[in-house]
Amino acid sequence: MDSSCDAAAVPFTLIGALLTAGPAAWPACVGGGRAFLRDYAQRGTNALLWAGLLATTWVLLLRLVALLRLWALGSRIPGPHAFLADPGLAAVLRAGGDITVGGGQGSLKITNAVLGRIRSISSDFVESRYFSQHMAFNIIGATLFGDAFFDWSDAAAYEELLMMVAKDGCFWASYAVPPFWKPGYRRYRTLCAKFKIFTQGIIRKSKDQNITLSHVGMIKDPRGGVSNGMMSGDGAAEGPHSSEEETCGSIMGLMLHGISTSANLISNILTRVVLSPKLQDQLYADIVAICNESSELNIDDVLRMQYLLATVCESARLLPAGPLLQRCSLEHDLTLESGITVPAGAVLVVPLHLVQMDNSMWGSDAGQFNPQRFLEKDVDIGEILAAPNGSNGINLSTECAKTESFLPFGSGSRACVGQKFVILAISMLIASLLRNYEVKPHPHVSKEMDQTIRSNNLHHLPNLKITLIKREI
């Protein structure tokens, strides 16, 4: 640089620049005014970027601290997450009376809706798991949303979405902190968002048609009358503290839980019916003995079909939908009758398979499928249906030693609120199906399947291909 060049004459700050006579007065040897302005813009931009970076970091830090705090608080709660977003709805379901199935027309409508949809895909055979899933989807959907559900054009897309969410949900729920950095998780969140939009859509449609979510007459008022159900237009079933958002979350929870568990049970029963013509004949005889050809199937008839009810219970005993029940005393130590003390916070796990197949309780044939055991003296189906003894037409016995070891729906104050509904709804559906159709395995049942049939011990459900043949009524 020229030694005569006075670099100190170039101002370093904007104020300095304003105090001088301007760029024209600055020495040309250091680039003049243009260099100053370029330098100034550069510094200004850098300062702004730094300020932005610091502010963003601060906001992110605050969020991280909030997240960690939430996680720390959440991790103090023992046991798995509750599947219902809104405990209010479970309370309403419990307090509001039984969820019960409608008349035979309803179940026939469901069977026909399912068959119609399946026939449009394949007329030859159908996979039992797929068929059961449609059945479950239609029972729960029709019960929650009423007739609006049957003419809902998005039903097929909703079902597909629901099954995808149900499939991925358990996996992502196993993360203690939602892994939002994983693309798979973000895809799952997008599915959940779509699932929510669809659910809001059908809730709105159901309300618009002024048909209650639980279908008029499907929820009986505990005082004897017929209530408008849990979600009539005035929001009666939404609970005192539930927002629409929470209610929608609860309905999503009910759909996910109710459909996957019911589909399992239906598929389980169908598989046994298909694999054992003797069982199918016995069930058919039980069904036609109660409702003759001309009469319409109704819920009182189903309550008298004891062999059918026993088959549903026996299927639930041998293959419960969930493997474990969990309980935890949050505040106090718990002293059991045996004298064992369970410390507060410890999680008690009940392995359902072991309890429900315990030889000492169920006899040496505990692992075998035998509906007859539910018709013997020491089991009380009336109690399983959670109805006052004798009020439902089933009054088998008052001794019920085994009933306490029958836990597919849990037990106590947090037991499944859908227990009675689901046993009756599935029985009604199977009655309606078998009364109208003969269910047969597809002629090409594989050798492997043939062995499963012979072993009579289904620990894993085969996904059978079945054919439905219309009976001459």
CA distance 367 to 457: 7
Q: Is 428 in the site for ligand HEM (CB under 6 A)?
A: no
Q: Is 258 in the site for ligand HEM (CB under 6 A)?
A: yes
Measured from each CB, the residue nearest to ligand HEM is: 410
Burial of 122 by CB count in 10 Å (0-12 exposed, 13-18 middle, 19+ buried)? exposed
Q: Is 69 helix (H, G, I), strand (E, B) or coil?
A: helix
Q: Is 254 in the site for ligand HEM (CB under 6 A)?
A: yes
Q: Which residue lies nearer to ligand HEM by CB, 397 or 405?
A: 405
- CA dihedral for 366, 371, 373, 379, sign (positive or negative): positive
Q: Which residue lies nearer to ligand HEM by CB, 221 or 281?
A: 221
What is the nearest approach in angstroms of ligand HEM to the Cβ of residue 413?
7
Contacts of 431 (CB under 8 A, 6+ apart): 107, 287, 291, 297, 301, 302, 305, 308
- CA dihedral for 367, 368, 370, 371, sign (positive or negative): positive
What is the nearest approach in angstroms of ligand HEM to the Cβ of residue 252?
12
Of residues 79 through 98, those in contact with ligand HEM by CB under 6 A are 84, 90, 93
CA distance 251 to 256: 9
Instruction: Please work out the total of residues on this chain that contact ligand HEM, with binding judged by CB under 6 A.
Output: 24
Task: Please indicate if the annotation marks 416 as binding a ligand.
Answer: yes
Q: Is 416 in the site for ligand HEM (CB under 6 A)?
A: yes
Q: Is 410 in the site for ligand HEM (CB under 6 A)?
A: yes
Contacts of 356 (CB under 8 A, 6+ apart): 317, 318, 320, 362, 366, 405, 406, 407, 408
Q: Is 265 in the site for ligand HEM (CB under 6 A)?
A: yes
Helix 155-173 and helix 183-208, axial crossing angle in degrees, nearest 10: 140
Q: Are 152 and 117 in contact (CB under 8 A)?
A: no
Q: Is 422 in the site for ligand HEM (CB under 6 A)?
A: yes
Q: Is 169 in the site for ligand HEM (CB under 6 A)?
A: no
Among 20, 100, 389, 411, binds ligand HEM (CB under 6 A): 411
What is the nearest approach in angstroms of ligand HEM to the Cβ of residue 425?
8
Q: Which residue lies nearer to ligand HEM by CB, 288 or 415?
A: 415
Token pair listed for 245? 């958002």
Residue numbers in the known binding site are: 416
Which residues of this chain interact with ligand HEM, rule CB under 6 A? 84, 90, 93, 140, 254, 257-258, 261-262, 265, 321-322, 325, 408-411, 414-418, 421-422
